[in-house]
């Protein structure tokens, strides 16, 4: 990760989900990538797109000799990739900083999972905690100066938001980072994280048009698969996801 310019503290946070917060599933994952400059982000996209271009024809039913358009090319989702292609893409992704929120569905109260509004609020809360963890970690690592202006550009898969019904995520992030939160139920107060100006932009993107969301989908799907494969040994799971640089476990 590049050191953030003190004159232009801009973070690009990209997130997708894997699994749903329902009784029939064991885990919900939010994961993706974070970039600390536009040049770093653009470099990632260029190389990731190149890798995708080299392998996507293997997942297309069209005759390659007569295909003359990318419009009908399939989006490469984590659940359709062969192991060697998954590794190829993930090996490149691991060169950058990744993020993850792992929600153990079995520990979430049934009244939250079974009510659409409550589920949306909980997932909204989970995302805010993940972003707060990222910011606090970067400050601790001297990668981010909380006393200078910070800009967050957050890209989230559009379908994820439709499914879970997010509430005002942007305002919630600003409130959490800039002003702190008073929890009246428990008499607690979380102190502000950012002391200067904070600009937050939340962008909902179509995955088929965004390599950043496609890569985030691959990270989320990989983490979920590792969780399910090691559900009886969560210590082993933790070791297997050491490539996730900034992560939280809920609840």
Burial class (CB in 10 A: 0-12, 13-18, 19+), 131: buried
Domains, in order of start, for the chain: 9-250 (3.30.420.10)
- Position 184 scores a pLDDT of 42
The pTM (predicted TM-score) of the whole model is 0.89
- Position 194 scores a pLDDT of 95
What is the pLDDT of the chain when averaged over all its residues?
88
- Encode 39-52: b = buried (16+ Cβ within 10 Å), e = exposed: ebbeebeeebeebb
Model pLDDT for residues 96-144, shown as the tens digit of each residue: 999 999 999 999 999 999 998 889 889 988 999 999 999 999 999 999 9
Alpha-helix residue ranges (DSSP H) falling in 149-210? 158-164, 169-174
- Position 99 scores a pLDDT of 98
The shares of helix, strand and coil residues in the chain, as percent rounded to the nearest 5, are 45, 20, 35
What separation in angstroms does the CA of 11 have from each of 7, 39, 48, 131? Answer: 13, 12, 19, 11
Quick one: pLDDT band at residue 211, thresholds 50, 70, 90? very high
Q: What would the mean pLDDT of 38-58 be, rounded to a whole number?
A: 93
Cα angle 35, 160, 248 (rounded to 5 degrees) comes to 55
Model pLDDT for residues 50-76, shown as the tens digit of each residue: 999 888 877 776 666 666 555 567 778
């Amino acid at each position: 990760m590049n050191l953030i310019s003190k004159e232009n503290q801009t973070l690009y946070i990209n997130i997708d989900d894997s699994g749903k917060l329902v009784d029939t599933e064991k885990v919900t994952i939010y994961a993706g990538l974070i970039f600390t400059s536009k040049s770093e982000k653009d470099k990632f996209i260029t190389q990731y797109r190149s890798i995708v271009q080299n392998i996507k024809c293997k997942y297309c039913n069209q005759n390659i000799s007569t295909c003359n358009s990318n419009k009908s090319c399939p989006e490469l989702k984590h659940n359709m990739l062969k192991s060697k292609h998954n590794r190829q893409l993930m090996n490149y992704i691991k060169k950058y900083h990744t993020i993850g929120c792992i929600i153990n569905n079995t520990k979430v109260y049934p009244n939250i999972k079974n009510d659409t509004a409550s589920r949306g609020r909980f997932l909204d809360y989970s995302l805010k905690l993940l972003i707060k963890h990222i910011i606090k970690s970067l400050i601790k690592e001297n990668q981010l100066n909380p006393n200078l202006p910070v800009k967050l550009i957050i890209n989230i898969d559009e379908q994820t938001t439709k499914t879970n019904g997010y509430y005002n995520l942007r305002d919630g992030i600003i409130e959490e980072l800039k002003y702190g939160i008073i929890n009246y139920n428990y008499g607690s107060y979380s102190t502000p994280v950012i002391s200067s100006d904070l600009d937050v932009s939340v962008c909902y993107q179509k995955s088929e048009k965004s390599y950043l969301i496609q890569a985030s989908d691959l990270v989320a799907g990989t983490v979920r698969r590792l969780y399910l494969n090691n559900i009886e040994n969560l210590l082993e799971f933790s070791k297997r996801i050491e490539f996730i640089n900034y992560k939280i476990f809920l609840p």
